[in-house]
Structure 1
Amino acid sequence: MTTPDKTVTSENIFKKIISHAKEYGFVFPSSEIYDGLQAVYDYGQYGVELKNNLKTLWWKSMTQLNDNVVGIDAAIFMNPLTWKASGHVDGFNDPMIDNKDSKKRYRADNLIEDKADEYEQAGDVKKAKDLRAKMNQLLGANDLKGVYNLIVEENIKCPLSGTANWTDVRQFNLMFSTKVGSVAEEADTIYLRPETAQGIFVNFLNVQKTGRMKIPFGIAQIGKAFRNEIVAKQFIFRMREFEQMEMQFFIRPGEEMKWYEQWKETRFRWHQAIGLPAEKLKYHKHEKLAHYANAAVDIEFEFPFGFKEIEGIHSRTDFDLTEHQKLSKKKMQYFDNDLNENGKPYGNYVPYVVETSVGADRLFLATLCNAYTEETVGEGDQQKERIYLKLHPALAPIKAAIFPLVRKDGLAEKAQMIFNLLKYDFNVIYEDRDAIGKRYTRQDLIGTPFCIAVDYETMENDTVTIRYRDTMAQERVKIDELSQKIGNEVSFKRIFDKLS
């Protein structure tokens, strides 16, 4: 028997997930009627609900479950000196290379990473590790000629042309710029923010003083960021416009490793609590650190295209606040009057920072990939393929769908009454078109955990049939028990309990 190629199977699954996302209202190519725009996507009616649920859950997990974390919403436009202080103006670059035959541009490090992934899939883990180590060494030394030579030595070819006819490697700044001012000639250049973290850092003292916050404390934010990615791939995994969920945790110098380890473990458990299996999650420790960090690790999820980052935890030292202090000439210090081990106040210092940064779009994609389920149901001649989204009920876009068995004899009016009863507490829908079996199937495809059928027995005793998405099991329930029953299953508390 021939063993199916795992890579081909995974690629097929991913194509199905992308098709499913469009067909059932989760993600659309942006401005598709004009042939779209590469690496830009719109969230459809069910996609926006799922994404909002993920964001709300993250926000509550940070600001509601931690009494020392608060939130802000900083502007996308910032004084351009912000990006000078952060290092983005001078150093926010990716190594780019063009293929002369296909005219396509690639990130050189991505090409090498893909080659390392090939070695891993072929079972040569050592070769993959050595290749990554050599790449990191060259990038760390900004040896672009060496990176080019490594691509040639590895015989890495363009996926489109199949040739290795490459240009030299050069650096490309990823920030989008625009102009602010009423007259073009006098307008100032500003940038669309490439990350949300700096909005937190420049507001550090505003939040600390107005909130009377004591270190350690955190500031959380959800917001859009923009990067001029030349090669965006893997659907919404890498986009030019994306959303980040970040928390910067301010601490005493010298305590960063303790908090780094604590947040690293806390965030890993959070991803499991929302339904991502432990076997599909792993840590990836950074060997090559960013200029601001003294420790960094990624939490990676196993997508159909391999293990990739969904969240980063970084010990950012005091780099950001110190650089803003230097350039702005404003003190970014905290006076800590708690006593140290010698019985003296800690005094003034620039706090250190531990960052947790989740890509909202990547988390959405991980959740969607994990939920996409194909299974065979029935026996013998009655066997058929079933597809559904096995989403955690708390995350599902629609919590329940209400169906009258038929539209006559008062059943439709009764179903509407139940819909009106539930709609103030849950996102529910009413549907009465097509056979009820087709209605069940439609709800399975968007991940609705409960379907409520109103039939003739309902008219006699005020009970309905509730069908469970995952098992397709059905049970009879009183109408006045529906709210509590659904509420227990879709509550965020079921997730929070796993974090205790």
Structure 2
Amino acid sequence: MLIHCVRNLLSRHSCTLKTSPSRTAPAPQHVGRRCSTSPAEDTDQVGTLLQLCADRYYVSPGQANTELFRRGTSCSYGPLGMELRRNLLEQWWHSVTRSRAQVFGVNTLSGCMDRNTNGQRQLKIVECEQLEQVLEQPEVSKEQLIQKVKWFLQRSPFLRTDLLQGALEQFLPSQRLVNRKLPFGLAETGLCFQPSDGSGCPAEVTQTSLVWFCSPRTSSQWLDHWARQRLKWWRKFALSPSDFSSSDVPEEELIEAASRGVRILYNFPWGQEPLEMLWSRGDEELLQMHKGARSKLQCRDGRKSVPHVVSITGNMDRGLMAFLSNSLQQVKIEDSKQRLKQRKVLKLHPVLAPVKVAVDIGRAATQELRQVCEGLLQELMEAKISVWPGYLETMPTSMEQLQSKYDEMGVLFTVVVSEKTLESGLIQVRSRDTTIKETMHISEIKTFLSRYISAAANI
């Protein structure tokens, strides 16, 4: 199954099919611009970040791919980018499912033959070969061709543009789980598709969703509660928390179902972009989803009522870029030959950093030293600490070059195993954030790293 641009296929036959939805949700827009005295400096910062992400295995190289990444849509991630996204999603999941009782995870299907799209632009899954068979039928008039294509599209499943509808579908079975007691929430993560911005093809987005069901009299308070919680969560992992902010959605920009809205924003060099959208949506969409089931929808929170919905929808691809942008630091330093150089370092939060420690080997590498490195790597991996096996590198590289590489990768610590390790068990440990080198016994490194990461997670 492929997403196919029907308009392009129909153009071969000089025929264009258009559908006009009854309501259209407003497309995400730039909310503002960061004040800058040097636009060239902002441009250079963006270019530096994109190049670093491609060079250091966060995103796959290529202009088209890095442009997708910059737009905040899903792209081809490299090994470190994939691990960073996994860490980010894991922390999001913990933040919503463990912050309050009665938040449950669900998994809903992307394609559906009959889904209420709430007037949003509809995306369909179309099998190209079958559509081409319809278009290539001989002796068919233009009107007949249009009718055949419309019939074909009606039978094609929808492609989801958000995760809200799946949670609304899951409401009835979920309310029995909580004995019809409010409030409770349903959390989900997954790929969704955004309608094209004129390019002709939809964009994939890694989306997070928390749909919170509460009594009508408390929905406004719950929107405020979750807005505070979400902003606090984004700032927790930030090197510069003030770059993350929240703002109310102006009344003229509210989606039709919502009475209030809040944006969680990040201040990129080119302007502010939304990372999460929070909406107080009332009960209209829930009633539409389960027509004729008002009595079944009623739950208790002191009194019986049809729940109101507070939805929290996040774009984790844009969130990933926000944290990379927020963590990039460029400082001028002197190298060992007193030459002035620019040090680039990704100071990602310890919990999010894809690689916690790199294990390298000193000069005069021997088989015994490699065995020590291998044993240390296995010990750290068993403790679920991500390790970069630098000792396997075959190209001769100075320690200064290695440290520069690891700083750009965002590696928290570099461990160097040397002849001293064989003699006394001592290793050298360098910190990414302070550049200070310490000596400790090899038996202490696992405990040190575990405590360090755990302490950072609990701040």
Superposition TM-score, scaled by structure 2 size: 0.78
SS of equivalent to 1:214: coil
* Aligned twin of 2:377: 419
**What's the Cα RMSD here?**
2.8
**Residue 320 in structure 1 maps to residue 305 in structure 2:** no
Greater CA drift, 436-445 or 241-250: 436-445
What stretches of structure 2 of length at least 5 have no aligned partner?
1-35, 135-150
Q: Kindly state the Cα deviation for residue 333 of structure 1 after the two structures are TM-superposed.
A: 4.0
Identify the match of residue 348 of structure 2 among 372, 391, 395.
391
Sort the Cα spacing of 1:212 and 1:439 in 2 relative to 1 into closer, same or farther, 3 A.
farther
Show the counterpart of 2:310. Answer: 354
Structure 2: how far apart are the matches of 1:181 and 1:449?
Answer: 48
Contact 1:318 1:353 in 2 (8 A): yes
Determine the structure 1 residue equivalent to 2:54: 22
CA distance 1:10–1:189, shift in 2 (3 Å): same
CA distance in 2, matches of 1:449, 1:417: 20
Shift of 1:277: 2.7
Question: Which position in structure 2 is the counterpart of 1:106?
Answer: none
After superposition, where does 1:285-364 map in structure 2 within 5 Å?
Answer: 285-287=248-250, 288=252, 289-326=254-291, 329-331=292-294, 333-337=296-300, 339=302, 346-347=303-304, 349-364=305-320
Identify the match of residue 400 of structure 1 among 349, 357, 363.
357
Q: Could you tell me which residue of structure 2 aligns to residue 241 of structure 1?
A: 204
Deviation of 1:259 after TM superposition, in Å, equals 0.6
Q: Which residue of 2 aligns with 1:149?
A: none
Q: 2:456 corresponds to which letter in structure 1?
A: R
Question: Deviation string for 1:32-83 (max 9, x for gaps)?
Answer: 79x9999762111110000110000000111123222111111111233322
Q: How far is the alpha carbon of 1:482 from its aligned partner?
A: 1.3
Say if 1:30 and 1:42, in contact at 8 Å, map to a contact too. no
**For 2:114, which of 75, 80, 90 is the aligned residue?**
80
Q: TM-score, normalised by structure 1?
A: 0.72
Residues 267, 332 of structure 1: alpha-carbon distance in 2 compared, 3 angstrom cutoff = farther
Q: Does the 8 Å CA contact 1:205/1:332 hold for their aligned counterparts?
A: no
Residue 174 of structure 2 corresponds to residue 207 of structure 1: yes
Match of 1:61 among 92, 95, 102: 95
SS of residue in 2 equivalent to 1:198 = helix
* Counterpart contact for 1:452–1:467, Cα < 8 Å: yes
One-letter amino acid of the counterpart of residue 387, structure 1: K
Distance (whole Å) between structure 2 residues aligned to residue 373 and residue 387 of structure 1: 6
Give the Cα separation in 1 of the matches to 2:61 and 2:191.
Answer: 18
Partner SS state of residue 316, structure 1: strand
Going from structure 1 to structure 2, the CA distance change for 1:371 and 1:311 (only over 3 Å counts) comes to same
Identity, in percent, stands at: 23
Q: Is the 8 A contact 2:239 2:349 kept in 1?
A: no
2:77 equivalent to 1:43: yes
User: Any idea what SS the aligned residue of 1:59 has?
Assistant: helix
Partner Cα separation in structure 2 for residue 338 and residue 31 of structure 1: 53
CA, structure 1 residues 220+402, in 2 after alignment: closer, same or farther (shift >3 Å)?
Answer: same
Which of the numbers 325, 329, 333 marks the counterpart of 1:369?
325
Instruction: Give 1:383 shift.
Output: 2.7
CA contact (8 A) 2:180 2:300 kept: no
Q: Write the distance in 1 (CA, Å) between the matches of 2:43 and 2:198.
A: 19
Cross-structure match for 2:27: none
Decide whether aligned partners of structure 1 residues 182 and 253 sit closer, same or farther in structure 2, where only a CA change above 3 A counts. Answer: farther
Q: Counterparts of 1:5 and 1:474 in 2: how far apart (Å)?
A: 38
Inter-CA distance 367–46: structure 2 relative to 1 (3 Å threshold) = same
Contact 2:215 2:307 in 1 (8 A): yes
Task: Give the whole-Å Cα distance in 2 for the aligned partners of 1:320 and 1:333.
Answer: 15
Partner residue, 1:218:
185
SS in 2 for 1:410: helix
**Distance in 2, Cα, partners of 1:397 & 1:239:** 29
- 1:178 corresponds to which letter in structure 2? I
The Cα shift of 1:378 comes to 2.9
Aligned to 2:456: 494
Residues 335, 317 of structure 1: alpha-carbon distance in 2 compared, 3 angstrom cutoff: closer
Q: Which amino acid aligns with 1:299?
A: I
SS of aligned partner of 1:80: coil
1:256 corresponding residue in structure 2: 219
- CA deviation map 1:190-248 (0-9, x unaligned): 2211111111111111222245463111111111110122258xxxxx98111111101
- Does residue 1:456 correspond to 2:419, yes or no? yes
Mark the CA change 1:50 to 1:437 in structure 2 (over 3 Å): closer, same or farther: same
C-alpha distance in 2, partners of 1:351/1:272? 31
